[in-house]
Structure 1
Amino acid sequence: MVENIFPLIPDLQEQVDNINSTDNNVALPLGRVFKFDFENNKFVMKDGKLVEIDNDKEKVEQWIHLILLTYKDKYDIYKNTDFYCNIEDMIGKKLNVLYLAEMKDEITTAIMKHRYVDNVDSFNISQIGRKFNVQYNISLINGDLIGGELNV
């Protein structure tokens, strides 16, 4: 008698059906993130250990801050990755309509790379001397809102 050469996989049809019904707004959990002090340019330590961020909203806030400060291929660790925001080219230039539109597009594109970001609701760019002040409001896929400010 010939046996079936295909193995029996329990609940196979249910597994296949679940593939098509997964919610695209549910992102994979974020990994471990250690708190970084951007004012002093160093990781935060407590009792000789790195302080870990346990709140997803804070993890995304730190990620946004970091990507907005990272110029493409400036640091070896980010070479050949999609982790960058090329607004450094604008520093020192007088803010006009063309540069403002280019900066807004670059910032929006960079922020939208994060899988937890749903929408860049608004942001404002103002020039202070040779630097820029960027204020932003971002909606996350879980409904949380992030408001932040960064000087570049």
Structure 2
Amino acid sequence: MSIFPFISPEILESGQASELPMFREYAYDFENNRLLLRDGNTYLVEGNEALRIWIFKALSTERFRYTAYDSAFGSEIHTLIGSTLHSEIVTSELKRFIIEALMVNPYISELSNFQFTRTKSGIQVEFDCTTIYGAMTVEWDAKEVRAA
């Protein structure tokens, strides 16, 4: 379930051990929205660091828009941009869209403790993510999502 549709992760056949292979992703620079390079080459990271990259890309990618991804990848957060809904409805929908986007990943077991903060650019979301590798806190900016 890589963020790059042309890279196939190891797939377990039914009947094999229930252990998942190590989750890997290409190292990513969130600030500049590009792959990180080491000695001029891309490189892989593993575990929660890789899942953090997958989460960022899943939340940033519009579901159903790109034919390179299947319908399980991405989110519908973009539908909240420009809405005039009450803040409680917007945060409730934002939480629902995040859960729907991320819980398709078998490496993620729980999302909890959602906190929403209004910013100049939209709404910042912070939540706890429990994975098979342990717990981590995720911060993500829902840019241009505002509440009335």
Q: TM-score category by the smaller chain?
A: 0.7 to 0.9
Q: Pick from 22, 28, 36: which aligns with 2:28?
A: 36
Work out the CA distance in 2 between the residues paired with 1:69 and 1:106: 12
Q: Pick from 77, 89, 95: which aligns with 1:87?
A: 77
What TM-score, normalized to structure 1? 0.73
Aligned to 2:132: 141
Tell me which structure has the larger Cα radius of gyration.
Answer: 1
Structure 1 pair 86–48 and aligned structure 2 pair: CA distance change class (3 A): same
Q: Which 4+ residue blocks in structure 1 deviate beyond 6 angstroms?
A: none
Work out the CA distance in 1 between the residues paired with 2:82 and 2:120: 8
Structure 1 pair 101–107 and aligned structure 2 pair: CA distance change class (3 A): same
What TM-score, normalized to structure 2? 0.74
Q: Per-residue deviation at 1:130? A: 4.8
Residues 103-138 of structure 1: per-residue CA shift (max 9 Å, x gap): 111111211111111111221122223512111101
Q: How does 1:36-55 map to 2 (within 5 A)?
A: 36-53=28-45, 55=46
Structure 1 pair 63–124 and aligned structure 2 pair: CA distance change class (3 A): same
Q: Per-residue deviation at 1:31? A: 5.2
Work out the CA distance in 1 between the residues paired with 2:21 and 2:67: 26
Q: Which has the higher contact order (CA 8 A, sep 6+)?
A: 2
Aligned to 1:3: none
Q: Percent identity?
A: 24
Aligned to 1:108: 99
Work out the CA distance in 2 between the residues paired with 1:116 and 1:57: 9
Structure with the higher fraction of residues in helix conformation = 1
Aligned to 1:118: 109
Q: Per-residue deviation at 1:46? A: 1.3
Q: Per-residue deviation at 1:34? A: 0.8
Query: Which amino acid counterpart does residue 104 of structure 1 have in structure 2?
Result: K
Unaligned runs of 5+ in 2: 1-14, 143-148
Structure 1 pair 31–104 and aligned structure 2 pair: CA distance change class (3 A): closer
Work out the CA distance in 2 between the residues paired with 1:130 and 1:40: 17
* Conserved? CA contact 1:123–1:137, under 8 Å: yes
